[in-house]
Amino acid sequence: MTVKVLVAGDANLDLVLAGDVVPRFGQAEQLLESAQLVLGSSAGICASGLARLGTDVALVARVGRDLFGDQTVRLLRDNGVDTAHVLRADAPTGLSVILSGVGDRAILTLTGAMAALTPGDVLQAMARTLAMSEPVGHLHIASFFLLPVLAGGLPELLAEARAAGFTTSLDTNWDPAETWAGVEACLPHLDLLLPNAAEAVAIARSLGGESTDVQAAARFLAARGPIVAVKDGAAGGFAVAGDGVFHAPGLALEVVDTTGAGDSFDAGFLSAWLAGDDLATAVRWGTAAGSLSTRGFGGTGGQPTRAELAAALAAAT
């Protein structure tokens, strides 16, 4: 039986707006090129990417008792994600408004119900997984800084997960406060840390690292426990473990939307790593999954199947 993956974190919709998206106040009306309401959230996109690659995956998250909550759960199920652990909270479902410009974007987020996720919610999902899965499973945490209750107890939760036999990973995403508080205590309990290049440098510097070089920052973090797999934009990605550094370029293709590409990288990397592949292969899978995800609109519109990813890698080789 394959490893069951629990992805714990945020769950919300993205309202992605493209065109003339830089706001001008004074009641000026601006005309957009497009507006789409799609599945968002780092955890939700990663879970969907894993399911698309054939991984047995469940999402642990909280949504509201509202229309957006219903739609979030429906889209997750449509993507093949087990939603038995998506709980309802007495708060509005989170929402991100993405202002998608040429080469960059701005994100406005209401955390809403997602912020109510607790360590106890995750422990309950872990207990059910232990009763049903062999081997034990993997726990991936996403959007650390949007989940204050979960983040406050995360070091203890990760330690308990590893003691129970789970492997663990964390994608912090960006810290809106830019203090990166709480990450250091998690590092000894992680098998994998999955930042992007800017996050890797920022986390390392918050812990006393002095270099602005992303590879040096990744080495600095890897010395504190986890394998560090870094999403490096158009340059692809790399992983650092011990003295080894494993690089892979991104795929050359026409980009429609980069929303969630890093979360799709996480899905590709985890899929290969959990299957027992070496780090070089896992990085190739991560960069290919991230690249292919940009073919469609929103975080899940272009996510590849396992066959599509393998074919793309074979063609690139």
Q: Does 2 or 96 have the greater pLDDT score?
A: 96
- For the stretch 144-183, what's the b/e string if a residue is b when 16 or more beta carbons lie within 10 angstroms of its beta carbon? bbbbeebbeebbebbebbbeeebbbbbbbbbbeeeebebb
List the CATH number of the domain containing 167.
3.40.1190.20
In a domain, 221, yes or no: yes
By the 8 A CB rule, do 45 and 57 touch?
no
Q: What is the pLDDT of residues 13-44, one digit of tens each?
A: 999 898 999 989 999 899 999 999 999 999 99
**Whether the predicted pLDDT of 1 surpasses 60:** no
User: With bands split at pLDDT 50, 70 and 90, how would you rate the model's confidence at 2?
Assistant: low
Nearest to 286 by CA among 254, 261, 252: 261
pLDDT in tens, 261-279: 999 999 999 999 999 999 9
Q: What is the mean pLDDT of residues 304-316?
A: 95
85 pLDDT exceeds 60?
yes
CA distance 101 to 295: 16
CA distances to 26, 38, 68, 128, 288 from 135, in Å:
59, 33, 35, 13, 27
In a domain, 311, yes or no: yes
Whole-number pLDDT of residue 134: 63
Q: Look at the block and give the residue holding tokens 């054939």.
A: 54
- Please indicate, yes or no, if residue 34 is contained in any of the structural domains: no
In a domain, 32, yes or no: no
Which of 1-5, 143-147, 190-194, 269-273 is predicted with the least confidence, judged by mean pLDDT? 1-5
Strand duo 192-193 + 167-171: pairing: parallel
Residue 231 lies in a domain: yes
Return d(Cα 35, Cα 261) in angstroms, integer.
19
Residues 182 and 239: their CA atoms lie apart, in Å, by 23
- Measured CA to CA, the distance from residue 197 to residue 34 in angstroms comes to 29
Structure tokens at 183: 């990450």
CA–CA distance, 34 with 8 (Å, rounded to integer) = 31
Model pLDDT for residues 214-267, shown as the tens digit of each residue: 999 999 999 999 999 999 998 999 999 987 999 999 999 998 888 899 999 999
* Average predicted confidence (pLDDT) for the chain: 94
Mean pLDDT on 199-228 = 96
Q: Which residues are paired to 86 by β-bridges?
A: 61
Cα distance between residue 173 and residue 199, in whole Å: 7
Please give the C-alpha separations between residue 130 and each of 85, 127, 136, 156, in angstroms, as whole numbers: 14, 5, 6, 18
Residue 61 CB partners (closer than 8 Å, separation 6+): 8, 9, 10, 11, 41, 43, 44, 85, 86, 87, 114, 117
Specify the pairing of strand 57-64 against strand 5-8: parallel
pLDDT for 100: 83
Exposed e or buried b per residue across 219-256, where buried means at least 16 C-beta atoms within 10 angstroms of its C-beta: bbbbebebbbbbbbeeebbbbbbeeebbbbbbbeeeee
Q: What is the pLDDT of residue 317?
A: 77
The answer to whether the beta carbons of residues 196 and 226 sit under 8 Å apart is: no
pLDDT in tens, 277-306: 999 999 999 999 999 999 988 899 999 999
First to last CA, the chain: 31
Domain assignment of residue 198, yes or no: yes
**Residues of 102-122 as b/e, b for ≥16 C-beta within 10 angstroms?**
eeebeeebbbbbbbbbbbebb
Per residue in 120-145, pLDDT (tens digit) is 999 999 998 888 766 679 999 999 99
Which position has the token pair 């994600």? 81
User: Is the pLDDT score of 152 beyond 80?
Assistant: yes
- Domain range for 221 is 5-10+41-93+112-316
30: in domain? no
Residue 17 lies inside a defined structural domain of this protein: no
The tens digit of pLDDT for each residue in 41-74 reads 999 999 999 999 999 999 999 999 999 999 999 9
Count of structural domains, the chain: 1
